[in-house]
Amino acid sequence: MILDEIIARTKVDLERKKKEFPLEWLGRSLAYNPFPPRDVHKVLKSTKENPYRIIAEIKKASPSKGVIREDFDPLTIAKAYEEGGADALSILTEPHYFKGDIEYLTQIRRYVPMPLLRKDFIIDKYQLVEALVYGADFVLLIAKALTRKQLKELLEYTWHLGMEALVEIHDKKDLIKAIFAGANIIGINHRNLETFEMDMSLSERLIPLIPNSKIIVAESGIYEHEQVKHLHDVGADAFLVGEHFMRQDDIASALKKLKGETV
């Protein structure tokens, strides 16, 4: 199972990092944290003026597609996303399967003003402190990768650090976990992380079960404005889009088009 494999690899990396750079050291640098986390609720909640909130993803590769973008410069991509009007950015930091790098967070945070999501397989508080130190405003927590207790603990520690979390779900069981943990932002991933199968109707089936107060993010497999419109009609506030943008020459125009603007 690919999710288990990625998590096993993440654990190995984590043990190594904890030895090389213990949490106490990492925590110490926070006394001078130059990157205080910013509020993401306002940015992600759909409004009449700006109904389609876009979280634009920076991702070089994925386990299902291999390398998606050869000519990969995270800063150039971040600028194009800013120009296109992205509301937030999702930065893959997982190094082996997605060819990400935690340093991208800091580099991008210094370069563009949008809030940043650390997109990784978070299973330990250490990674949350790391996210904060490197400049993330919010983090991904995958319900399927965590027990109820772990999810709740990691979510509460995320808030303790002043950040927010996008809690990702793929079925009713995950949704119950997310609600139980108290998630404010719920992401519905149309892609099954264990089989890579896509189910674009998942949002319309799960959204009616989610309390109104939550911010809802539709994730994966989004490439055209019609989909965004439909997902917004069924209740999504924001849209997480990666591969479609990564395959464009003119990323800024693609983003505007996805929002339904004429370019």
The Cα 50–Cα 185 span in angstroms is 18
21 vs 196, beta carbon nearer ligand IGP: 196
- Residue 220 annotated in active site: yes
64 vs 106, beta carbon nearer ligand IGP: 64
> Which of 59, 60, 214, 259 is labelled catalytic?
59
- Closest residue by beta carbon to ligand IGP: 242
Q: Shortest gap between Cβ of 57 and ligand IGP (angstroms)?
A: 5
- Residue 94 annotated in active site: no
> Which of 60, 90, 94, 119 is labelled catalytic?
119
115 vs 242, beta carbon nearer ligand IGP: 242
Among 10, 158, 220, 227, binds ligand IGP (CB under 6 A): 220
13 vs 23, beta carbon nearer ligand IGP: 13
> Which of 168, 177, 214, 259 is labelled catalytic?
168
165 touches ligand IGP by CB under 6 A: no
Q: Which residues are catalytic?
A: 57, 59, 119, 168, 189, 219-220
